[in-house]
Structure 1
């Protein structure tokens, strides 16, 4: 394959533009057709038969020993005979790169059968006897194939193929071929291409198949025949307008496809398919179909697997094709083919963008995910031509900025931030690999319910979410809440890996939720007014929280109170600003959060001050929280809070107010108006914000590291004085 520089030298601007489609890319077929054109130009060059060749099929044989076995046939006399010159009837040699067009190889990708061309590719490390059989089949099988003989009958030089078939009936000639091959290989196995050379004129040279039009046409007809008989069709073809070129042509209905689309068993693309009339539903001309098939190398290079599905992320030029933009596109595709790293096409494209080798405004990306099933069934979902490099990169950057910079996760006070961070958790560390996480789906794997990828299906919400963020489509907040809650419950009840409440998981989920809600991305959508506040971007300060000296605290106040007030007010899903009426769903969500915060706060107190192995957090797990139970849980939690308040007052003599008073007072007001028995909030919504509250409450304590740092600083100052 030509390098980008070689491609540009081989095809100057004017020449390249003459070979490109006239119209912009408007469909997957247009994109595949362009890929196929570029691949053909880069591998087999121009020419009528170039698209039919398969140069990559035997690329691993180039410059290897005994990689080409040639049966040499002289048809210049009255009867065909094997060559009797110094080279002999059979030549065993190296296959070289400059012979691609000469041997005219066209692979037939089937477990059994012969290749479309007279040149045939043997299996790996075939023994001499098998190679001899394949060599003889050039005469006794390919030359008498029905499609080949029909093509020969209609071609003025068809007699050359007829002469091969005639020689194939000569047992002495066949024995000579076999004996010569076995002798020249010396009993050693080999991986080889097998072909023929023919001498047409008495004074002429032996010619390769690719140099003779009759061999090329027979190869072409044999390959085309497979485009109309797939899936047991008799002849799925007819005259129609080619959907790629827009010109009248003979169209085919069962051609192969790099992405397995529009096949007989691909029900989403061909509902109620009549196989014989598939050409009417999806008319593509013979030559266009072949060109589309040649897109496979580039298509495969721009795909990756995740969640049991195959994700396609195919770049294309947006708008009119020019030589400059196509050179850029070819560079992207070439590097994707040559890449041997673990990065996705998205990351590779972004690297090119960072190095200013491509302009994001010039390119769009076709995105889809394909789920394979048994019996050659494929489900296609999430298909769009509107993908942009901007979407996954901006989500990765927004998530990192959120975790690193906003007050919900950061503090420089002697009290903790509302939610914890952890360098060992990718979604809480601001990891530089966040783009890789978004691109591969790891971003959602960490927060969604776990599944067995071997049993994944097209309804897998992880795949839906991945395709959505790649294409800039919004994800339903209901989907996120359901997945988040299922994962929380699974992690909290996993007896084999039980490490307490999954606070870092919940914090990761919330960070993700907020990043998706960013105004610049707009990747969340609600199912109704009650969920709309969740889809709004929070208004947390984009800097660390102020120091204690800067926080206005009333006499007898506590730094935890303004922190809670600020977090609730700056979180649209909880803020009173979004109470549409008294007792609205936002108010109910706030009540669930406050209850969780109190459970987390008192649960932490029980664990560290009371040395209790089972705390309120364990007593009231997320799966136990429902509208019917929330009042009882609240009553028991508040009662336990008052018990510890009285206990501390008795031990210390004085206690300024109720323990966790900043939570208790707000909870009392919220949980009773209206009565939880009359609440309307959905269970997943209720449980997630309860879990978020637990995480908040468990993290609501003095920041010991900050206090230690302040103490060290004070000691240093005193020492200096």
Structure 2
């Protein structure tokens, strides 16, 4: 395949313009056609038969020993015969770059079939006798194939093929071929292409198959015959308007597809399919179908397997296909084939910096394909409107949140911890250069959503829905996120063998993700009902930039824990009274759940570190136990336990001067103890997630000690 610099030189502005479609990309087929056209130009060049060749099929054989076996045939006289010159009837040589187009190889993937071209590729490490059989079949099988024979009858030089078939009837010629191959290989196995050279004039040279139109046309007809007989169709073809070029043509209905779409068993794309009439449902011309098939290399390079599915990220340029834009696109596709470690989105981000390809012109076709069984697939999340902006900005926004806003970072020189913890060993609680990779591959949601067995994944997998939504800029339903978050939290609290303690880093990661998705510039969250609307609003946390000594604020004398709680609630739209201070509103109920969690986390931490208790309130009231019917009882018991510890500390010298955690208790009385939670309207997942967020907040609510080592610092990322 041509490198981008050589491609640009080989196909300048005018040459490339002549090869490009006239219309912008408007469908997947248009995109595949463009990919196939670029791949053909980069590998086999232009010309009528170039799209039919498969140069990559035997790419690994290039410049290897014994990789090309050539049967040499002289048909310049009345009787066809094997070559009788210095080289001999069979040449065993190396398959080199300059021979790729000359041998005219066209692979047929069927295990028991022969290749479409007279050139055939053997299996790996075939024994000499098997290679000899393949060589003889160039005359006895390919030369007598029904489609090849029909093509020969219709071609002015069809006699050349007929002479090969005639020679194939000579037992002595076949024995010579076998004996010569066996002798030249010295009994060693080889992986080879097997082909022929033909001498048509007595004083002429021996011609390769690619140099003779009759061989090319027979190859073409044989390959085309498979486009109308797939899935046991007799002849799924007819005259119609080609959906790619818009021109009248003979169209085919059962052609192959690099993404396995529009197959006979792909019922989602072909509802109520009559296999013989498939060309009416999806008319694509013969040549366009072949070009689309050639898109496979680029399509496969622009995919990623995740969550048991195959996700396609196919870049293209928006609007008119100018040579300049397409040169840049080819460069992106070429690098995708060379790089297995990153996604096309990451490659596009790296390549667009410092180049003149405007990212506003760059789009992505995005879809996820879920295989169920052989030849049966589900296609979902399909869009042509994917943009680099969404995953790139989401990665940046997430890093910015964790790195510099007050929810995750304490105020400089403050005496108290930040509201929520961070941890360098947790990808979503640290600033990471790999965040774009996490977003574009789905790892971003794998870390926060409920765990599943990828071998049993299905098209309804929320992780795939979320991934495709982010890549295409479609908002994700808040209810879906909360359900997944809570399921994951409950699983980790329940699985005592694998996880220890409350998953505070997980909850903090989920909340950071939720905040990033709510960013005003992205708007990747949507409420499923008005009560969840505040969750979709961007938080207003202060952004901290480390000040100079002169800029460090002087403490105002207020209790830092109370000030921190007030600020966090007011700056979090889902909790803020500014969004709804009605005691009967869902926002107030959510705030009550958060405050209860904060008190449970605060007192639970006190029990663990001051009382040395192995079972705390955090363990006593796990997330799955919190419901509307139980939350008031849990609150009463937690407040009672708080008062017990308050009295206990007052007996000690320097005991707590007021009610322990009074900045939480006082607000709880207003939100849970006075109204009746059984009449609340908040959904259970909403209630539980913000309770879990509160627990995380409470566990992290303590004085800051610059010399202490976080006891959880060594906890490994999940």
Partners of 2:144 and 2:238 lie apart in 1 by 27
Q: How does 1:379-390 map to 2 (within 5 A)?
A: 379-390=378-389
In the other structure, the counterpart of 2:342 is 343
In the other structure, the counterpart of 2:488 is 487
Q: Could you say what secondary structure the match of 1:496 adopts?
A: coil
In the other structure, the counterpart of 1:35 is 35
Partners of 1:429 and 1:48 lie apart in 2 by 55
1:326 positional shift:
1.0
Check the 8 A contact 1:140/1:169 in 2, yes or no.
yes
In the other structure, the counterpart of 2:302 is 302
After superposing the two structures, state which structure 1 stretch, 443-452 or 371-380, moved more: 371-380
Q: How does 1:259-658 map to 2 (within 5 A)?
A: 259-339=259-339, 341-356=340-355, 358-411=357-410, 412=412, 413-543=414-544, 550-553=554-557, 557-579=558-580, 581-652=582-653, 655-658=656-659
Q: Could you say what secondary structure the match of 1:704 adopts?
A: coil
Check the 8 A contact 2:583/2:671 in 1, yes or no.
no
In the other structure, the counterpart of 1:87 is 87
Relative to the length of structure 1, the TM-score reads 0.96
Partners of 1:5 and 1:639 lie apart in 2 by 75
Q: Could you say what secondary structure the match of 2:368 adopts?
A: strand
Q: Could you say what secondary structure the match of 2:497 adopts?
A: helix
Distance 1:607 1:548, change over 3 A: farther
Check the 8 A contact 1:308/1:454 in 2, yes or no.
yes
Q: Could you say what secondary structure the match of 1:381 adopts?
A: strand
Distance 1:681 1:544, change over 3 A: farther
1:313 positional shift:
1.0
Q: Deviations over 1:149-170 (max 9, x none)?
A: 1111111111111111111111
Distance 1:659 1:197, change over 3 A: same
Check the 8 A contact 1:583/1:673 in 2, yes or no.
no
Partners of 1:707 and 1:133 lie apart in 2 by 77
Partners of 2:233 and 2:17 lie apart in 1 by 38
1:357 positional shift:
5.5
Check the 8 A contact 1:469/1:523 in 2, yes or no.
yes
1:672 positional shift:
3.7
Partners of 1:81 and 1:125 lie apart in 2 by 29
1:430 positional shift:
1.2
1:204 maps onto 2:204 in alignment: yes
Q: Deviations over 1:347-377 (max 9, x none)?
A: 1111111232632122111111111221211
Partners of 1:333 and 1:653 lie apart in 2 by 70
Q: Could you say what secondary structure the match of 2:422 adopts?
A: coil
1:338 positional shift:
2.1
Check the 8 A contact 2:636/2:673 in 1, yes or no.
no
In the other structure, the counterpart of 1:246 is 246
Q: Deviations over 1:246-281 (max 9, x none)?
A: 001111111011111111111221122111111111
Partners of 1:307 and 1:707 lie apart in 2 by 40
After superposing the two structures, state which structure 1 stretch, 513-522 or 69-78, moved more: 69-78
Partners of 1:290 and 1:102 lie apart in 2 by 20
Partners of 1:184 and 1:206 lie apart in 2 by 21
Q: Could you say what secondary structure the match of 2:321 adopts?
A: coil
Partners of 1:131 and 1:593 lie apart in 2 by 74
Q: Could you say what secondary structure the match of 1:419 adopts?
A: coil
Q: Deviations over 1:166-203 (max 9, x none)?
A: 11111111111100100111111111000111111122
Check the 8 A contact 1:29/1:244 in 2, yes or no.
yes
Q: Could you say what secondary structure the match of 2:320 adopts?
A: coil
Check the 8 A contact 2:635/2:673 in 1, yes or no.
no
1:549 positional shift:
6.0
Partners of 2:83 and 2:164 lie apart in 1 by 13
Distance 1:13 1:251, change over 3 A: same
In the other structure, the counterpart of 1:719 is none
Partners of 2:181 and 2:5 lie apart in 1 by 41
Partners of 2:581 and 2:479 lie apart in 1 by 20
Distance 1:548 1:158, change over 3 A: closer
In the other structure, the counterpart of 1:154 is 154
In the other structure, the counterpart of 1:711 is none
Partners of 1:446 and 1:94 lie apart in 2 by 51
1:122 maps onto 2:122 in alignment: yes
Q: How many residues are treated as equivalent by the alignment?
A: 704
Check the 8 A contact 1:414/1:707 in 2, yes or no.
no
Check the 8 A contact 1:414/1:706 in 2, yes or no.
no
Partners of 1:260 and 1:650 lie apart in 2 by 75
After superposing the two structures, state which structure 1 stretch, 160-169 or 616-625, moved more: 160-169
Q: Could you say what secondary structure the match of 2:381 adopts?
A: strand
Partners of 1:586 and 1:545 lie apart in 2 by 33
Check the 8 A contact 1:585/1:681 in 2, yes or no.
yes
Check the 8 A contact 2:581/2:588 in 1, yes or no.
no
1:111 positional shift:
1.4
Partners of 1:545 and 1:528 lie apart in 2 by 40
CA RMSD of aligned residues (A): 1.6
Q: Could you say what secondary structure the match of 2:198 adopts?
A: strand
Q: Could you say what secondary structure the match of 2:543 adopts?
A: coil
Q: Could you say what secondary structure the match of 1:701 adopts?
A: coil
1:182 maps onto 2:161 in alignment: no
1:581 positional shift:
3.7
Check the 8 A contact 1:132/1:182 in 2, yes or no.
yes
Check the 8 A contact 1:407/1:545 in 2, yes or no.
no
Q: Deviations over 1:9-66 (max 9, x none)?
A: 2112111101110011111111110111111111111110000000001111111111
Q: Could you say what secondary structure the match of 2:651 adopts?
A: helix
1:677 maps onto 2:678 in alignment: yes
Partners of 1:92 and 1:281 lie apart in 2 by 48
Check the 8 A contact 2:583/2:589 in 1, yes or no.
no
